[in-house]
Amino acid sequence: MDLSIITYAVPFLLVGAKTTLLIALFGVGLGLPFGILVATARTSQVATIRRCADFYCAVFRGTPMLVQIFVIYYGLAQIGFIRHNAILWWLIGDSLHAAVLAVILNTGAYTAEIFRTALLSLPRGLIEAAEACGMSPWVIFQRIKFPLALRQALPSYSTEVAVIVKESSLASTITVLEITGYAKRLMSETFAIMEIFVITAVFYLVINVACLTALNVIERRLSFEPRYAR
Amino acid sequence: MLNDIWVLMVEKGWTLALLRGAGVTILIGVLGVVIGLASAIPLAILRWRRLPVLSQLVDAYSIVIRGVPGLLVIYLLFFGSVDWVQKIASAFGYADSAENAYPFIVGIIAIAAISCAYSVEVIRGALQAVPVGLLEAARSLSLSPRLTFFRVTLPLALRLALGGINNVWQMTIKDTSLVSVVGMQELMRTAAVAAGITRSPLLFYCLAAAMFFAMTAVSQILFNRAEKYFNRGFSRR
């Protein structure tokens, strides 16, 4: 492999990595609470709320992320009301903002699915015991359901984080220059396709391994088993 | 508003174009999954048997493809092959037809390469989940290794792999939309062209979303049925 290509490509890809990390950070930071919210809505007693949340999840899990990002960035911009509303236009008028919004909505649906199964797997007796103690629904959620569900869901959620990092590459289709966007540009500039691919792959693998390690640490912190068992 | 939609969809013929695009999407998806699965089975067996160098190579392939965005794999295959495909084709005097068929062929290869990487993991997991006792029983009946594999291991593993294969298929049909960025005329590309010409992106992208949704929903129903069929006699206990 030609060394000059590495020194040429890496600075560009580092700039791109910043954008990728930014999108992924928002995807996790806002997508996780949003997904948990949707998951609680899906396990709600009220049929209307449950059905709305189910519908949202089915739609976002059943369509490609590329379509979602295009509907948000190109499609919604067509509606006059959104164009004239300052806040909404700030949200989707800029390609980076639209990409972040798409990632949050997309990961929210998958996260909701993960947390729904976690919430449903909780032992019924625990919640009944909490109710018998006179805890309010909010306290039950905060003290009983959420901590237990979080521990259940974390292993699957770490795969979802890796998916977020990969899905953020679709932002390059709406002109956001993140890692994949720069990689495409470098490929058509230098014609060193394989070299650029390998360097870019290393970037993604490093980010993914870092995320997975971080989540592994959290998982171990939250697990029940005493430390010496490991 | 409704009148406008009628003019666009029926009189200008965009419905037909979108349906044709959807057909191409399904074709790419099915071919991608079938080729991916067919090549994943031997690769998974290599991994399962832990053959020294080969199994590490398969592992590396699977980790890299699964760790990298699909878009990047597609760029690699398209930009990486465009040169020598042109050369080979013009050497044989097929330069024009290569230009037409090229995105389609490379698109299928790209989709197959991605789905293959995921299928390898699914099938290897299923092969490892086949109970050892059954294999020992087969050996005690002095079935040959070949016969054991085709009559005992593979059928049982495929039943176990069905859920994973469903996931790979759902992912692949959604990944086909990525091929549109390099010019393949499938559903997403057709919608993008229509959105550009008619200047109504909202309508066409939503229609594309609805069509993708219909595909995933219908295939989910079919897979549920298949799962019921293959698990007959297992779930009752």
Q: What torsion do the CA atoms of B145, B151, B154, B159 make, to the nearest 10 degrees? A: -150
- To the nearest whole Å, the CA of B131 is away from the closest chain A CA by 25
Exposure string of A183-212, with b = 16+ CB inside 10 Å and e = fewer, is bbebbeeeebbebbbebbbebbeebbeebe
Number of H helices, E strands in chain A: 11, 0
Q: Which two tokens stand for residue A12?
A: 């560009």
CATH number for the domain spanning A79: value is 1.10.3720.10
Rg of the Cα atoms in chain B: 22
Sequence-distant (6+) residues with CB within 8 A of B220 are B166, B170
CB contact under 8 A, B212 and A64: yes
SS3 content of chain B, % helix, strand, coil (to 5): 90, 0, 10
**Candidate from A67, A78, A208 with C-beta closest to B188:** A67
If one compares A8 and B98, the residue with the highest pLDDT of the two is: A8
Which of these CATH numbers, 2.40.110.20, 1.10.3720.10, 3.30.450.20, 3.40.50.970, describes B22-184?
1.10.3720.10
Cα–Cα distances in Å, from A218 out to A34, A221, A224, A228, B152? 20, 5, 12, 17, 42
Q: How many CA atoms lie within 13 A of A105 on its CB side?
A: 22
**Candidate from B68, B188, B216 with C-beta closest to A201:** B68
Q: What is the ipTM of this complex?
A: 0.85
d(CA A72, CA A93): 9
d(CA A206, CA A191): 24
**Candidate from B76, B188, B213 with C-beta closest to A62:** B213
Local structure of residue A170 (DSSP, 8 states): G
Instruction: Find the helix or strand (DSSP H, E) in which B227 lies.
Output: helix B201-230
> DSSP readout, B127-140?
HHHS-HHHHHHHHH
CB contact under 8 A, B72 and A197: yes
CB contact under 8 A, A79 and B177: no
How does the average pLDDT of chain A come out, rounded?
89
Percent of chain A exceeding pLDDT 90 equals: 59
Q: Which two tokens stand for residue B203?
A: 């309508």
**Candidate from A76, A193, A204 with C-beta closest to B69:** A204
Contacts of B180 in chain A (CB under 8 A): 66
CB contact under 8 A, A173 and B181: yes
pLDDT tens over chain A, length 230 residues:
578 888 888 899 999 999 999 999 999 999 999 999 999 999 888 999 999 999 999 999 999 999 999 999 998 888 888 788 888 888 888 899 999 999 999 999 999 999 999 999 999 899 899 999 999 989 999 999 999 999 889 989 999 999 999 999 999 999 899 999 999 999 888 888 888 999 999 999 999 999 999 998 988 888 766 555 44
**Candidate from B68, B177, B216 with C-beta closest to A204:** B68
Instruction: Find the helix or strand (DSSP H, E) in which B187 lies.
Output: helix B187-198
| Contact of B201 with A78, CB cutoff 8 Å | yes
Contacts of B68 in chain A (CB under 8 A): 166, 200-201, 204-205
- To the nearest whole Å, the CA of A197 is away from the closest chain B CA by 6
What domain count does chain A have? 1
d(CA A127, CA A136): 11
Question: Each residue of A66-124: pLDDT tens digit?
Answer: 999 999 999 888 888 878 888 888 888 889 999 999 999 999 999 999 999 999 999 98
pLDDT at B237 over 50: no
Residue-number span of the structural domain to which A167 is assigned: 3-229
The full set of domain ranges for chain B reads 22-184
d(CA A41, CA A48): 10
Give chain A's contact residues with B (Cβ, < 8 Å). 58-59, 61-68, 70-71, 74-79, 162, 166-170, 172-173, 180, 183-184, 187-188, 193-194, 197, 200-201, 204-205, 208
- To the nearest whole Å, the CA of A35 is away from the closest chain B CA by 20
CB contact under 8 A, B209 and A78: no
